[in-house]
Amino acid sequence: MPLQPQTLGAALNETLSLHSALCRREAGAFQKAVQSGDDVVVACTQEKRLFAEVAQQTEGVRSVIKFVNIRETGGWSRDAASASPKIAALLAAAHLPDAEPVSTVTYKSAGRLLIVGALDQAEQIAALLADTLDVTIFAQGVSASALSGFPAQERQYPVISGTGLKLTGWLGQFEAKWDKSNPIDLDLCTRCNACVAVCPEGAIDLSYQIDSDKCKFHRDCVAVCKVAGAIDFSRAPQSASEAFDLVLDLGAQPLITLHAPPQGYFASAASAGLASPGLLATVLKLRDMVGEFEKPKFFAYKQKLCAHSRNETVGCNACVDICSAGAVSSEKSRKQIVVNPNLCVGCGACTTVCPTGALTYAYPRASEQGVRLKTLLTTYAKAGGAHASLLFHSQVKGQQTIEALGRAARLQKAIRGVPANVIPVALWHTASVGLDLWLSAIAFGASQVTVLVTDEEAPAYLDGLADQMRVAQALLNGLGYPGVHFQLLRTSSAGAPADLGDLDARLQSLARARPTVPASPARFAVAQEKRSTLDMALDHLTTQAPVALPEAIELPSRGSPFGSLLVNRDACTLCLSCVSACPASALQDNPELPQLKFIEKNCVQCGLCASTCPEDAITLAPRLLLTPQRKEARVLNESQPYQCIRCAKPFGTLKAIESMLGRLAGHAMFQGPAADRLKMCGDCRVIDIYSAENELKITDIR
């Protein structure tokens, strides 16, 4: 498409230079720009490597160089003629500073590699790695093709074997545990193969392990191994463990089945040897994994906001359930969740489903993402764009899908490409952005928010995103904004030709949709605190609502961070255990009267109150109350105080005392005067015990 530098420059408040061969004959202009000291944005990602080389060869480079793709996202599209507002938005976002640095997580690898699998296959892979890594093999028999490729007779690598192999840890700190139950001691075995030859059942394979299901106890193998003494059936199984830095799992059933396995663990079935899909790439990657490595600590955790558990009762478990890396766990002794930064892969799903904001995404922060979204949308509108639709996608397969769609539009008449009003927004992971930023985007002027997901996302992430979208859509529709504002676009792989046609059709449908949005965009700044951002976004959307507002908006039960409580007054005894359990101060008591009060604005629907209530008298009611009462304390239940029958001092509720008297009425210990003491306050109860003449005291016992 022919770019319009004057139009784009006006939207960006700067003078733009248009080049047609900046990476070739016009490279001098690039060199001059990077010597100026001003930030330089190159609107081309194809020749990023070439530009970096030119910059290295240029003296006096003082500029920060950034790259942005406007070709596949805008220029290669049937809507290219009207894509200038989107291109201006992408250029403006590229000018933003990088995310503020955060603390890092460090891994140290000395190159101790454990290869798990068939001995012959493991030895073939070990031969490619032994010059760089310290290889140990955990033998799991031999492959079906071992007759055409025997394990090496020479003992080139330490070989261990056993049963019940378990693996824990991460890059640089793996621990393997197993039971040494094999009658053949591999450290003593000389691989003479006499036992294999003499065994009448063929119970011993070339990995020198005995199949107990085949062995008929002839013990011929023991007889031929007298010199080495490697075979002993009377040897008791022993537990063993060893530390490793890296693990290559070639087994048919991976030892770690997490969707996001820990750093340093690679699972690749080796049924076809090095021809197995991805195995050669894994081998090359392993060769580079020696030394010290760092990654950002992607999350921040505030325990005081966490609604996970109180008093050993679990309420909200959203982060634990959704984590595909096994990085989030419950620690009841500390009454909180624990996030292992070494296992965390930075997907951000836990921060998205957290209702309180106890877990927040740290790299980039929510506030930085908010600036980015506001920059995109305000620049798009300033350049004359309308009905902006944000398309969130991952930086890996999502980006590949967008670029494949652009190339297909360039080459195929049937593909239209990314529509002019659809603005791609790359994320480290699509699960890292949720309800707070989606609603903020609508408040800032977006008409739609779409999340493109591929097969790299865990199924739990898709369920979590779908739940969040149902809540977001219910909020907007309830506020009087008709139409579909939030959608999840699923494609099976990164830009497979068979999927591009369907994806293209769905994007075109999105581009034609015109859901109702606020008449004027919001100006608030996205806060790092999730609840604060939600409140500001909802305040703006409520103020701009096109119709009269209802009293409340009913919300889906899954994923709602807002709601009320229903209390069964007949069952509730006002024990107030729910008040001490509430992490958000939504439930409160009254020091003067037996009352249970509730501030709906504070409620995060964690369910701790319902789990704690001994009478099962509390039910969650997901909704968004739109009246001023949402911010005010209201009484959910109250009762008459029960007065001491001796001094008339209130010391409990009428309902609680009556319930206690009813439960203990038939108990032998609470008859006569003892029953009356249940109706007394603590002081009078003690006085009555010591003043009663017929009371048996411990001092009377001889």
Residues 6+ apart with CB under 8 A from 85: 11, 379, 380, 381, 383, 384, 385, 420
Element (H, E) at 600: none
User: Average pLDDT for residues 590-597, to the nearest whole number?
Assistant: 88
pLDDT at 1: 52
Cβ atoms of residues 537 and 521 within 8 Å: no
CA distance linking residue 119 with residue 697, whole number of Å:
79
Across the range 317-335, mean pLDDT stands at 88
User: Which has the minimum average pLDDT: 207-216, 236-245, 311-320, 691-700?
Assistant: 691-700
Which secondary structure element, helix H or strand E, spans residue 87, and what is its range?
helix 84-94
pLDDT in tens, 613-633: 999 999 999 999 999 999 999
3-state SS assignment for residue 48: helix
Write down the residue that tokens 């920060």 correspond to. 64
Residue 44 has pLDDT above 90, yes or no: no
Question: Minimum mean pLDDT among 16-25, 159-168, 514-523, 660-669: which range?
Answer: 660-669
Name the token pair of 221. Answer: 């193998």
CB 246 within 8 A of CB 109: yes
What does the alpha-carbon distance between residue 568 and residue 454 come to, in Å, rounded to a whole number? 45
Residue with tokens 């990164």: 494
pLDDT confidence of 148, banded at 50, 70, 90? Answer: very low
Residue 320 has pLDDT above 70, yes or no: yes
Confidence class for position 313, pLDDT limits 50, 70, 90? confident
Q: How far apart are CA 588 and CA 602, in angstroms?
A: 11
Reported confidence tier of residue 641, pLDDT bands at 50, 70, 90: confident
Query: What is the spatial order of strands in the sheet that 486-490 belongs to?
Result: 422-427, 389-394, 448-453, 486-490
- pLDDT of 209 reads 87
* Segment 74-102, tens digit of pLDDT: 889 999 999 999 999 999 999 999 999 99
- Please report which confidence band the pLDDT of residue 452 belongs to, taking 50, 70 and 90 as the band edges: very high
pLDDT at 496: 63
Judged on CB neighbours under 10 Å (0-12, 13-18, 19+), 229 is exposed
CA distances for 68 relative to 25, 47, 87, 422, 651, angstroms: 21, 11, 10, 16, 70
Phi, psi values for residue 659, rounded to 5°: -65, -40
User: Considering only CA atoms, which of 151, 159, 143 is closest in space to residue 272?
Assistant: 143
Strand order in the sheet with 552-554: 552-554, 618-625, 563-567
pLDDT of residue 697: 60
Whether residue 302 is predicted with pLDDT greater than 70 in this model: the reply is: yes
> Alpha carbon of 588 to those of 604, 637, 641: distances in Å?
15, 11, 17
Are the C-beta atoms of residues 225 and 231 closer than 8 Å to each other? yes
- At residue 653, the pLDDT reads 79
Its pTM stands at 0.87
Question: In degrees to the nearest 10, what's the CA dihedral of 251, 254, 260, 264?
Answer: -50
pLDDT score at 362: 94
Please report the DSSP string for 391-440 in residue order.
Answer: EEEETTHHHHHHHHHHHHHHH-TT---S-TTEEEEEES-GGG--HHHHHH
Q: What is the pLDDT of residue 692?
A: 78
pLDDT number for residue 66: 92
The pLDDT assigned to 255 comes to 95
Per-residue pLDDT, 274: 64
Burial readout 98-126 (b: 16 or more C-beta within 10 A, e: otherwise)? eeeeeeebebebebbbbbbbbbbbbbbbb
CA–CA gap between residue 540 and residue 75 (Å, rounded): 35
Q: What is the DSSP string of 620-639?
A: EEEEEE-SGGGGSEEEEEE-
For the chain, domains (ranges, CATH) are: 1-67 (no CATH), 70-99+365-532 (no CATH), 107-291 (3.50.50), 297-361 (3.30.70.20), 562-638 (3.30.70.3270), 641-700 (no CATH)
pLDDT tens for 341-369 read: 999 999 999 999 999 999 999 999 999 99
pLDDT of residue 408 exceeding 80, the answer is yes
Helix pair angle (435-444, 459-478), 10° resolution:
40
Residue 146 pLDDT exceeds 60: no
238-257 pLDDT per residue, tens: 899 999 999 999 988 899 99
Asked whether 479 and 543 are in contact (CB, 8 A), the reply is no
Confidence of residue 598 (pLDDT cuts 50, 70, 90): very high
Q: What is the mean pLDDT of residues 177-191?
A: 90
pLDDT of 564 > 70? The answer is: yes
Predicted pLDDT of residue 371? 97
Task: With beta carbons less than 8 A apart as the criterion, state whether 288 and 317 touch.
Answer: no
Q: How large a percentage of the chain has pLDDT more than 90?
A: 63
> Which pLDDT band, with edges at 50, 70 and 90, does 605 fall under?
very high
Three-state DSSP class for residue 501: helix
Asked whether the predicted pLDDT for residue 682 surpasses 90, the reply is no
Token duo for residue 590: 């009254």
What integer best gives the mean pLDDT of the chain? 90
Residue 451 has pLDDT above 50, yes or no: yes
CB 402 within 8 A of CB 393: yes
What is the mean pLDDT of the segment spanning 544-562? 95
Evaluate if residue 147 carries a pLDDT over 60. Answer: no
Average of per-residue pLDDT across 657-669: 82
- CB neighbours of 693 closer than 8 A, spacing ≥ 6? none
Judge whether residue 700 has pLDDT over 70: no
Q: Copy the structure tokens of residue 143.
A: 């492959």
Q: Could you give the percent of the chain with pLDDT greater than 70? A: 96
- If DSSP codes are grouped into helix, strand and coil, which group holds residue 187? coil
Is pLDDT larger for residue 212 or for residue 338?
Answer: 338
> By C-alpha distance, which of 662, 565, 670, 668 is closest to 612?
565
Q: pLDDT at position 696, please? A: 61
Q: Band of the pLDDT at 570, cuts 50, 70, 90?
A: confident
Q: Which amino acid is at 312?
A: E
Phi-psi sector, 364: left (phi>0), alpha (psi -120 to 50), beta: beta
Cis peptide before 364, with omega less than 30 degrees from 0? yes
Q: Which residue has the higher pLDDT, 570 or 285?
A: 285
pLDDT at 62 over 70: yes
Inform me whether the pLDDT recorded for 581 exceeds 50.
yes
Please work out, in degrees rounded to the nearest 5, the angle formed at the alpha carbon of residue 700 by the alpha carbons of 694 and 702. 145
Instruction: Calculate Rg over the CA atoms of the chain.
Output: 34
Query: Tell me: the pLDDT tens digits for 459-509?
Result: 999 999 999 999 999 999 999 999 999 999 998 765 566 678 899 999 999
* 277 within 8 A of 266, measured Cβ to Cβ: no
Residue 191 phi/psi, 5-degree rounding, is: 55, 40
Residues 552, 556, 559, 564: what is their CA dihedral angle, to the nearest 10 degrees?
40
pLDDT at 273 over 70: no
Report which of residues 217 and 517 the model is more confident about: 517
